[in-house]
A = this chain, B = another copy of it.
């Protein structure tokens, strides 16, 4: 067996860090920062409780790293929205399906916790505040206006329509998956009726 060089060791370490983050996101998203014990994350990742601290120096640090990742993912999802093809309705539909996907849902639940709980580290709050929800949402305004001009969407203040749409999507994202086994993706067409006249 050839000994591993520094680069390979670093890579191995990064892989383990990713393994811990993946386990932690699942548990933090469902149970919150305080409701999650380091032992739960360790168990989910298949390692001992003490070992976690060789990769993240504290529970808070791990939580903050996850929040950072989640915000970057979310910002990317909104940015990608501007580049989508098709009619306004088709764009919103694709965006909606993307948002309701499981991995996005966990990230979103984490961010929601940071925004609503006052027991998360200040550093986590600061990260989330760097990407104001309003500016994220406002990236969608042009598509809504276009949808109204083309007669695909109902008339009225586009900001209000956008806000209602976003509230509904946010609510669905917070729903524990499989509430009574509804396949939400299957119903996206029905959901889109909120936007139409």
A75 at interface by CB-CB < 8 Å: no
The segment from A46-54, A62-70, A89-97, A168-176 found at the interface with B is: A168-176
Which residues does chain B contribute within 8 Å of A163, judged by CB atoms?
180, 182
Complex Cα gap A30–B187 (Å): 29
A139 at interface by CB-CB < 8 Å: no
Smallest CB separation, A147 vs chain B (Å): 14
State whether A190 and B171 are in contact (beta carbons under 8 Å apart), knowing that A31-B117, A116-B176, A119-B35 are contacts in the complex.
no
State whether A191 and B174 are in contact (beta carbons under 8 Å apart), knowing that A31-B117, A35-B35 are contacts in the complex.
no
Complex Cα gap A193–B164 (Å): 12
Which residues does chain B contribute within 8 Å of A170, judged by CB atoms?
171, 175, 179
Q: Is the interface of A mostly helix, strand, loop or mixed?
A: helix
A133 at interface by CB-CB < 8 Å: yes
One of B116, B137, B191 near A30 (C-beta < 8 A): B116
B164 near A187: Cβ-Cβ < 8 Å: yes
Within 8 A of B (CB), among A157-197: 160-161, 163-164, 166-168, 170-176, 179-180, 182, 184, 187, 190-191, 193-194, 196
A residues near B (Cβ < 8 Å) are 30-32, 34-35, 112, 115-117, 119, 133-134, 137, 154, 160-161, 163-164, 166-168, 170-176, 179-180, 182, 184, 187, 190-191, 193-194, 196
